[in-house]
Structure 1
Amino acid sequence: MSQPEPPASLPRYLAEGIPKQNVETLHDVREYVDALIEYREEPVDADELPDAVEPVDRDDDEMGTIVKEKVKCGDETYNCASENLSDMYGPYLYRYYREGGKLTSEYLGKP
């Protein structure tokens, strides 16, 4: 049996470094990666989300929590710049999840 090829998406420093590890360290790495995946895929607690979002119940196998959110466009002269939700754009769907130790959001489109 020959050594397996790393996936093309794996950064070179990992593709070169992982095969150099002993079996015990490889088991530790596998446990760490499994725990990291579980952490990133778990739903985000409501108290971690922005105040003006509404969680959406959706049959989705993706990581994180999907919410409806109203947004500002960034132009301070527009009505959406106020804190009044009725003046903001949307709602739009966003997925909130953890990545690199931070809460991240991803735009998914209109509901």
Structure 2
Amino acid sequence: MSRQPELEERTDAIRRARRVRRIMVQIPYFIVVGIIAVAAVLVLFGFWRKGTLVFSGALLVGAVFRAILPVTRVGLLQVRGRLFDVFAMTTMGLLMLWLASSIAALGTD
């Protein structure tokens, strides 16, 4: 009968560790989402060019995370295969970077 409390404590410790791991795996995703939130705030306050630059930076950071982190650590940044994810995020990030730098600012010629 004395083994039952030990077994329950061990089970609780394993469950807590799994919950912490589920959150820790998502840290790269939360970083990218945080950068996107900053970009959205910039656009909301009228700084659309800076917001677009920050958004493209978020895509490029996500591509770097996806390229260097193992599958067990990348969390929700994994959508398809590694090559496709890195290619898609890099392409979109570079296109948005080009877009933000090539379009003239509103109100100027």
Give the helix-richer structure, 1 or 2: 2
TMscore range, shorter length: under 0.3
Give the strand-richer structure, 1 or 2: 1
Higher relative contact order (CA 8 A, sep 6+): 2
Structure 2 length-normalised TM: 0.26
